[in-house]
């Protein structure tokens, strides 16, 4: 699941195709028509489905449509790779312990949107990223993997984000592998 550029999605595809992750990315779902993730899926030959959240009456209705798409594609594990929507209990219950999110902070610090901006505003010297299981309360699920990134004095949102994204690309495939092993999926 992706909403933006899709760099974490591409990192997962590369990890699967390169043998670092014993999995297959069988489908991408995006919620923003024409987003970078959708373009990456076309280039990589991964089926992509659009579920524009603006076309659904509620979060629950969107999540029910997502569940139907995932079930039709035989999805066993769901990764929120830059999915900028809050999910409901329906999706969590449909994929218990099988719904993974990547977040650009060292949780539990700086939950929610604009985590990098929050870290810079707080003046922390260390930030990073967290891959975790999804729970109903935003960015509070069981932590699978974290990576630390130093915050430099000259950092801007863009410069810190670039270093954090590089670590996200490294830890997200590892988190997927760990989650799959915990569930005996591999």
Q: pLDDT tens-digit profile of 97-151?
A: 999 999 999 999 999 999 999 999 999 999 999 999 999 999 999 999 999 999 9
Tell me which of 103, 132, 165, 169 is the catalytic residue. 103
Predicted model pTM: 0.94
Residue 42 dihedral angles phi and psi, to the nearest 5°: -60, -45
pLDDT in tens, 83-92: 999 999 999 9
Residue 103 annotated among the catalytic residues of the structure: yes
Whole-number average pLDDT of the chain = 96
Domains in the chain: boundaries = 7-181
DSSP letter at 155 equals -
**Integer Cα distance of 164 and 174 in angstroms:** 16
Going from the C-alpha of 9 to that of each of 37, 100, 106, the distances in angstroms are: 7, 12, 20
Using the predicted structure, report yes or no on whether residue 82 has a pLDDT greater than 70: yes
Angstrom distance (rounded) from CA 68 to CA 50: 13
pLDDT value, residue 184: 87
Please name the residues in contact with 24: beta carbons below 8 A apart, sequence gap of 6 or more: 16
Residue 186 clears pLDDT 80, i.e. is over it: no
CA distance linking residue 143 with residue 161, whole number of Å: 20
Distances 145 to 7, 129, 142, 159, 178 between C-alpha atoms, Å:
18, 8, 10, 22, 9
What pLDDT score does 185 carry? 81
Contact 132, 101 (CB under 8 A): yes
**CATH code of the domain occupying 7-181:** 3.40.50.170
Question: How does pLDDT run across 131-142, given as a tens digit for each residue?
Answer: 999 999 999 999
């Amino acid at each position: 699941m992706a909403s933006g550029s899709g760099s974490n999605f591409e990192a997962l595809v590369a990890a699967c195709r390169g043998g670092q992750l014993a999995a297959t990315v069988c489908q991408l779902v995006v919620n923003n028509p024409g987003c970078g993730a959708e373009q990456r899926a076309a280039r990589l030959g991964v089926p992509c489905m659009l579920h524009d959240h603006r076309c659904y009456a509620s979060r629950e209705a969107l999540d029910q449509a997502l569940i139907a798409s995932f079930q039709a594609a035989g999805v066993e594990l769901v990764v929120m790779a830059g999915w900028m929507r809050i999910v409901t209990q329906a999706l969590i219950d449909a994929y218990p312990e099988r719904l993974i999110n990547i977040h650009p902070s060292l949780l539990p610090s700086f939950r929610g949107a604009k985590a990098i901006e929050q870290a810079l505003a707080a003046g922390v010297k260390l930030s990073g990223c967290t891959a975790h299981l999804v729970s109903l309360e935003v960015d509070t699920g069981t932590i699978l993997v974290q990576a630390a990134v130093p915050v430099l004095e000259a950092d801007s949102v863009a410069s810190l984000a670039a270093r954090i994204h590089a670590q996200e690309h490294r830890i997200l495939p590892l988190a997927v592998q760990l989650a799959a092993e915990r569930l005996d999926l591999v």
